[in-house]
A and B are shown apart, each in its own frame.
Chain A
Amino acid sequence: MEKPLTQHIKANEPPMNISEYEKAGGYSALRKAVKEMQPKDVLKVVSDSNLRGRGGAGFPTGMKWSFVPMGDNAPKDKYLVCNADEMEPGTFKDRLLLEGNPHQLLEGMIISAYTIQANKGFVFLRWAYKTAADVILKSIAEAYKAGYLGKNILGTGYNFDLYLHTSVGRYMCGEETGLLNALEGKRATPRAKPPFPQVSGLFGKPTIVNNVETLSFIPHIINNGTEWFKELSLTGEGGTKIYGVSGKVKNPNTWELPLGTTMREIIFEHAGGMRDGLKLKGILPGGASTDFLTEEHLDVNMDFTSVGKAGSRLGTGTLIILDDKTCPVGMVHNLEHFFAQESCGWCTPCRDGLPWVEKILMSIEEGEGRMEDLDILSFHSKNLGPGRTFCALAPGAVEPLQSSLKYFRQDYEYHIKNKRCPWR
């Protein structure tokens, strides 16, 4: 089984430096792209591969890039930004790639920047990832020295400067336009779309924002081609995926597996199944902002389409497992506390709705809930859903809420009827 993204990552060892990376075939894709291919050729390969964004939304990468104005009339400044603000609760996959193979990411970024003819780029990194910050700074310096960054890259006349920006917190920085506002030194509130960042993004210039895992794939697609990429997956969506499992399983960890691996295989083979004496009660398949699934969905393939059909989202592909000794109401309360706290306050439904949801959940958990509260929670699930708010934070926040009301309704009712949490 091929593991292109993680083949050179060894646990508890520092990542490859630039010469080790080059010896392993590194920067050959960049050489090929800038010397033998036109930007439009690279775009075609990435589009044909059908690579979809690994940050959570799954937007086709090639299509995103295709909206950037090109040619002589395009603005002189264009930006490529790597979203390394991994802050979705329960998500720890980009950390692996950032700490484990920084040059792979840089090579992917330079090829991507060349494709849209960006002249400046940023790695937008979460403040908490101190090790990643160190290795990225070191790798950027190495890449400049080797002529892969800066002026006249590999003698082709193409210029690209890359900088590291470490954040100062807030979940909103992971939202594409919130991230751009943060990079401009402002509050990380979302922007109205259109105009889309591809046309008017950072400092009003065309900007592409891609996730770490997405960008890390680019060198491999350029080297090995679209057919190779498609065959990596089990279900035709292309590529491998860094999956992760957290919660009370025997072996929580991350693994690079074919996209479309079943939840059963991920949870029971790779994560070793539940700890002794515990049963699986629920699954958040792709981070905090995805709908719960349950045991009946274990044979669902973890790809964009299949998880969607099952009623949730692939999201970040890192599964959070709810066991039968943990209170589902308490878990949802914890999730909604996070979303209410991280709401940026820009639009009213999210700013006012989420704290209301959090307070109701707290009262139910404390044994002070009423049956009508469940209707109020359902009401909020709909009215904070897609199309009602400025960005995707609130719609994401109500995904685990609405599905918990569906799958764990009897647990909510038990709390209300017996005026206590049965798990306490």
Chain B
Amino acid sequence: MLSIEEQKDLEEELKIVPYKKAATIEALKVVQKHRGWVSDEGVKDIALFLEITPDEVDGVATFYNMVFRREVGRHVILLCDSVSCYILGYQQILYQLNRKLKISFGETTNDGRFTLLPIPCLGTCDHAPAMMIDNDLHRDLDPANIDSILEMYN
């Protein structure tokens, strides 16, 4: 079952869409907001609420890279690996993150603090290389500054 808070968050969306199924993406966002990620249980809860099958929900969930179908850490690092950041050397930033956190793309630190993911272009190419941690954009990255940026997230 979606929690009362989750259902409340979906109320506005349900007023806009002509039928419940059209709120699938919004429902995935709401569940992820409240639970951190979307588990199989979360998929079933959404399906029940929107009166569709869990497979229909999962078909949508697995399409979108910002819906997390696996558990993520407390903070998600999204490092841009697209063309402008390639030219400006995101690889060195990745190397520094790998070394510091001892994880590769797609992995979470043992203490559950960070998950590291690649992300396509963040639309800030004049300040490449760039990454986002949670809702914060970090730009003009330098391998030397990575440690102090990570320290901002506990």
Residues of A within 8 A of B (CB): 86-92, 94-95, 120, 126-130, 163, 166-171, 182-188, 203, 244-248, 252-254, 284, 288, 318, 320-323, 326, 330-331, 334-335, 337-338, 341-342, 344
Contacts and interface: CB of A to CB of B under 8 A. Distances in A.
Interface residue SS majority, chain A: mixed
A188 B62 CA distance: 11
Contact of A126 (B67, B83, B123, B135): B123
Interface residues of B, number: 38
Interface in B59-106: 59-60, 63-67, 81-84, 86-88
B25 A129 contact: no
A40 B16 CA distance: 28
Given A185-B21, A185-B26, A253 B121 contact: no
Interface in B105-119: 119
A91 B60 contact: no
B124 interface: yes
B84 to A, nearest CB: 4
Given A185-B21, A338-B83, A169 B64 contact: yes
Given A128-B132, A186-B24, A331-B87, A169 B123 contact: no
Nearest to B24: A185
- 3 tightest Cβ-Cβ pairs between the two chains A and B: A246-B125, A185-B24, A252-B126
A246 B21 contact: no
B120 A185 contact: no
B87 A320 contact: yes
A326 to B, nearest CB: 5
Given A90-B84, A244-B125, A331-B87, 20 more contacts: A89-B82, A89-B83, A89-B121, A90-B125, A95-B124, A120-B16, A126-B123, A128-B123, A169-B66, A185-B23, A188-B63, A244-B126, A246-B87, A247-B87, A252-B125, A252-B128, A288-B82, A326-B87, A331-B83, A334-B81
B4 interface: no
Contacts of B86: 330-331, 334
Contacts of A95: 123-124
B28 interface: yes
Contact of B83 (A182, A185, A335): A335
25 contacts: A88-B121, A89-B83, A90-B83, A90-B125, A92-B125, A95-B123, A130-B137, A167-B66, A169-B66, A183-B22, A185-B22, A187-B63, A203-B18, A244-B126, A246-B87, A246-B128, A252-B125, A252-B127, A288-B121, A326-B87, A334-B83, A334-B86, A337-B81, A338-B83, A342-B120
